[in-house]
Amino acid sequence: MINYSHTIGIASFEGRGFMNPVDLALDNEGLLYVLSRSNASNKDVRISVQTTDSEYKHEFGRWGTEPGQTILPSSIVIDKGNRVYVSDEFMHNISVFDSDGTFIERWGELGSGPGHFNRPSGIRLDMDGNIVVVDHLNSRVQKFDSRGNLLSHFGTFGYDDGQFNYPWGLCVDALNNIWIADWRNDRIQVFNQDGEFLFKFGVSGSEKSQFSRPSGVHVSDSGHIYVSDWRNNRIQIFDGNQNWVKTLYGDATLSKWCKDFLDVNPEQASWRENAALFEQEKRFWLPTAVMSSPDGNIFVADSCRHRVQIYKESPVLSKV
pLDDT tens, position by position, 218-274: 999 999 999 999 999 999 999 999 999 999 999 999 999 999 999 999 888 888 888
Is residue 216 within 8 Å of 168, Cβ to Cβ?
A: yes
Is residue 92 within 8 Å of 106, Cβ to Cβ?
A: no
Nearest to 46 by CA among 56, 54, 298: 56
Strands 156-157 and 163-164: parallel
Query: What percent of the chain shows pLDDT beyond 70?
Result: 97
pLDDT at position 318 over 90: no
| CA 268 from centroid of its chain's CA atoms | 30
Is residue 304 within 8 Å of 7, Cβ to Cβ?
A: no
pLDDT at position 80 over 80: yes
pLDDT tens, position by position, 169-225: 999 999 999 999 999 999 999 999 999 999 999 999 999 999 999 999 999 999 999
Phi/psi region, residue 166 (left: phi>0; alpha: psi -120 to 50; beta: rest), is left
User: Between 39 and 84, where is the model more confident?
Assistant: 84
Instruction: Give the DSSP H/E element, type plus range, for residue 14.
Output: none
pTM of the prediction? 0.95
Phi/psi region, residue 268 (left: phi>0; alpha: psi -120 to 50; beta: rest), is alpha
Domains of the chain, CATH where assigned: 2-313 (2.120.10.30)
Is residue 189 within 8 Å of 171, Cβ to Cβ?
A: no
Q: Residue ranges of the alpha helices (H) in the chain?
A: 256-264, 266-275, 278-282
The dihedral through the CA atoms of 15, 16, 22, 23 has a sign that is: positive
pLDDT tens, position by position, 100-145: 999 999 999 999 999 999 999 999 999 999 999 999 999 999 999 9
Cα dihedral 112→113→117→118 (10° resolution): 0
pLDDT at position 76 over 70: yes
Q: What is the mean pLDDT of the chain?
A: 95
For residue 214, which phi and psi values (nearest 5 degrees)? Answer: -65, 130
* Amino acid type, 176: N
Angle subtended at Cα 315 by Cα 313 and Cα 320, rounded to the nearest 5 degrees: 65
Instruction: Give the DSSP H/E element, type plus range, for residue 234.
Output: strand 234-238
Name the packing angle between helices 256-264 and 266-275 (round to 10°): 110
